[in-house]
Amino acid sequence: MWILASIAWGLSAAALLAADTLTRGPYLQLGTPRSMIIRWRTDPATKGQVQYGTNLASITNLASHAGVLTDHVVQLSKLKPATRYFYRVGSPTNKWLTTPSEMYSFVTPPPVGPARPVRFWALGDPGTANTNQLAVREGFYKWAGARTPDLWLMLGDNAYATGTDKEYGKAVFDLYATEHRRNPLWPTLGNHDAFSANSETESGVYYDVFTLPTRGQAGGIPSGTEAYYSFDYANIHFICLDSQDTDRSTNGPMATWLKTDLASTARDWIVCFFHHPPYSKGTHDSDKRNDSGGRLLEMRENFVPILEQGGVDLVLTGHSHDYERTFLLDGHYGSSTNLTRAMIRNGGNGRDDGDGAYAKPVGTVSHAGAVYIVTGSAGQTSGGKLNHPAMYVSLNKLGSVAVDVDGSEMRVTYVGTLGQVRDYFTLRKK
């Protein structure tokens, strides 16, 4: 009996001392000027902890979570805005799984309100986990050079084909591992993600792997759900809508929240992102009432009027596997055949070296015009007629969108797989 007990104790001790294996991450979530969430996954389950600090030679701050887990979520609090922090993740028993370095560091967002140069990266329908997705990533890095994004967005269909945890591992966490370590990702739900997630119950893989604001922790009005939310970064207000799973009626909870959120923001710029495009003649046709269960049409008829009343500047979507970019529009809520000249606030190309930048009044002025972009080609292209009359340009090309905001100027670039510029325009407020 004593021998068996000794053997059992020895096996237990060995298990406790077994080295943890890092199977996902670390990845950053829900960044604010004063806080950052760091998540990672291990095998076996352990108590997770993060050591962090502003001096690479002396990292002494420590944060941890309660309990023994495989999916670790640790919030770092009382941080300084616009400050670089180095970090490492691990456990009290087996210590550190990463080494503090430039690779494992982040810069906290700046104070909300004042303008400062900001770059964000938007990827629509990226989750193929194939050479196309890799080429789009490398093309962006080639174009961006040393100026990496401050934050990034995923516009839905983040992991094909059914948004399983394994597919998320390959298409979201493995392929963008470098970006996850240094900048927080802000996603929205697509139809393929919804095969394994449910917005009503906030359950399933999408909701399990992301930590998103429900209480207005990063700015904006609390939504009470991770399905749709808002956040601030410097002088930009971002709004994420759920065009897939949430009630899209004009008097539903999401529309009601959106009106309140738009009315409350004092930021200079408003950017909204969701999955189903209000205007498209690509893989999907926004004129067809039965396309995608009517989601494209409902977003145009029910939500675009709210966004334009609230002074939105830029709307980013995916779903159609192509790139389509409108003129500066306002008031186009019907089919493409109902587009009138009065709905096109500026019919030029929006380029300083062309017809001139799209001009808007300073502030969040109702119905001053917005640009709508379909960029669902970060993982594949599948064409279509690509002839919507609201579009200045429509391309059946792989790529992703980079947005640079500097004070009263917003510069938008569509970047191809070789780092080439396939489209560009400027919005300027004066």
Residue 17's pLDDT is 47
Is pLDDT larger for residue 129 or for residue 1?
129
Residue 146's pLDDT is 96
- Please tell me whether residue 400 adopts helix, strand or coil conformation: strand
Whether 4 has a pLDDT exceeding 50, the answer reads no
Mean pLDDT of 145-172: 98
- The span from the CA of 418 to the CA of 101, in Å, is 29
Mean pLDDT of 357-374: 97
Burial group, residue 231, by CB count within 10 angstroms (0-12, 13-18, 19+): buried
Residue 93's pLDDT is 84
Nearest CA-CA partner of 70 in 42, 94, 47, 49 = 42
The rounded mean pLDDT for the chain is 95
Give pLDDT tens digits for 202-227: 999 999 999 999 999 999 999 999 99
- The span from the CA of 95 to the CA of 107, in Å, is 24
Give pLDDT tens digits for 59-94: 999 999 999 999 999 999 999 999 999 999 999 987
Query: Domain 118-429 is of which CATH architecture?
Result: 4-Layer Sandwich (3.60)
Whether 197 has a pLDDT exceeding 70, the answer reads yes
Q: So where are the chain's domains?
A: 2-107, 118-429
- The pTM (predicted TM-score) of the whole model is 0.95
Q: How does DSSP assign 214-238, residue by residue?
A: SS-TTSS---SSSSSEEEEETTEEE
Count of positions (residues) in the chain? 430
Residue 49's pLDDT is 97
Determine contact, residues 124/378, Cβ cutoff 8 Å: yes
Mean pLDDT of 126-137: 98
| CB neighbours of residue 14 within 10 Å | 9
Whether 8 has a pLDDT exceeding 70, the answer reads no
Domains 2-107 and 118-429 share a fold: no
Residue 101's pLDDT is 92
Residue 16's pLDDT is 44
Residue 18's pLDDT is 54
Instruction: Name residue 263's amino acid.
Output: A
Q: How does DSSP assign 267-284, residue by residue?
A: -SEEEEE-SS-SS-BSSS
- The span from the CA of 246 to the CA of 304, in Å, is 16
Mean pLDDT of 286-300: 98
Determine contact, residues 378/388, Cβ cutoff 8 Å: no
Residue 109 is encoded by which pair of tokens? Answer: 């967002």
- The span from the CA of 102 to the CA of 54, in Å, is 11
Whether 235 has a pLDDT exceeding 80, the answer reads yes
Which CATH class for the 2-107 domain? mainly beta
What is the DSSP secondary structure assignment for residue 197, as one 8-state letter?
Answer: E
Whether 7 has a pLDDT exceeding 50, the answer reads no
